[in-house]
């Protein structure tokens, strides 16, 4: 007898897995989940028909309970990817009109600092925190709590100063901490020639809604990391435009 109930179950499973894959699209776990889902669905169908034809009641019972354990296991294994998916979902805004006057002021200070550091080939890592916040990273750094200015940022990153290693974190128009450490990305898509600064920038943006500006000390190139993506070697106009786009999309 043709099992319509089973066919419906398979289609439901397919759409569940498809939805989860779309939800974590772009993460390093996407291809792994695709492979696991394909193997699971094929094995589920084959075992069901085999058990049905041979009247293996115990196997049918196990299959009926297998799905809940499989889904629970996927939640555990892909917890970081699901967390980033929910984070992106929570960041969605329908409309953000423009910058406030205060935002314009501190953005100009950040842009000026990055461009001046770039010309001098002084390495820098500047994080603009969003709604998620970077509490752990701030607590691991040196608290500053000063108004953002390009002079302050340049002084912090000047070679030889006590706080030049690590990143500065800015919340609204306050530079809250310096010498902060970020988690390094494990993504294999990052170019091998890129160093710790770029990997740290991508790593922290995979787990938060921060925007991170990177200045390379080797080339002076300016890059921006946002939502796990890296936009490299931006010129002055591209840098300003991409920074605005990232900020407005939060």
Quote the DSSP letter at residue 212: E
The ranges of the chain annotated as CATH 3.40.1700.10 are 101-249
* Domain 101-249, CATH class in plain words: alpha beta
Residues contacting 37, CB < 8 A, separation 6+:
17, 21
Q: Enumerate the H helices of the chain as residue ranges.
A: 4-23, 30-53, 57-77, 79-91, 101-119, 135-139, 150-157, 196-206, 236-249
Note the pLDDT tens digit of each residue in 59-75: 777 776 776 677 677 76
> What is the distance of C-alpha 60 from the center of its chain?
41
pTM over 0.85: no
* Regions of the chain where pLDDT drops below 50: 1-2, 26-27, 94-97
Give the total residue count for the chain. Answer: 250
Q: Using one digit for the tens of pLDDT, what is the confidence trace for 19-37? A: 666 655 544 555 666 677 7
């Amino acid at each position: 007898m043709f099992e319509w109930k089973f066919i419906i179950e398979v289609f439901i499973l397919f759409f569940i897995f498809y939805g989860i894959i779309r939800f974590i699209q772009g993460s390093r776990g996407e291809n792994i989940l695709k492979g696991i889902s394909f193997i699971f669905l094929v094995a589920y169908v084959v075992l069901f028909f085999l058990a049905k034809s041979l009247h293996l009641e115990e196997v049918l019972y196990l299959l009926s309970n297998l799905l809940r354990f499989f889904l629970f296991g996927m939640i555990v294994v892909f917890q970081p990817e699901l967390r980033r998916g929910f984070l992106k979902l929570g960041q969605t805004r329908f409309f953000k009109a423009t910058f406030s006057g205060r935002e314009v002021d501190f953005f100009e200070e950040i842009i000026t600092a990055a461009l001046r550091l770039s010309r001098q080939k002084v390495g820098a890592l500047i994080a603009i925190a969003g709604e998620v916040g970077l509490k752990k990273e701030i607590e691991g750094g040196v608290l500053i709590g000063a108004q953002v200015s390009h002079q302050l940022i340049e002084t912090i990153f000047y070679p030889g100063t006590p706080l030049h290693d690590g990143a500065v974190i800015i919340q609204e128009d306050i530079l809250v901490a310096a010498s902060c450490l970020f988690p390094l990305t494990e993504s294999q898509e990052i170019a091998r020639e890129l160093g710790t600064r770029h990997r740290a920038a991508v790593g922290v943006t995979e787990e938060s809604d921060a925007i991170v500006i990177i200045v390379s000390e080797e080339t002076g190139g300016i890059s921006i990391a946002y939502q796990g993506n890296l936009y490299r070697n931006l010129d002055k106009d591209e840098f300003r435009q991409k920074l605005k786009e990232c900020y407005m999309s939060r």
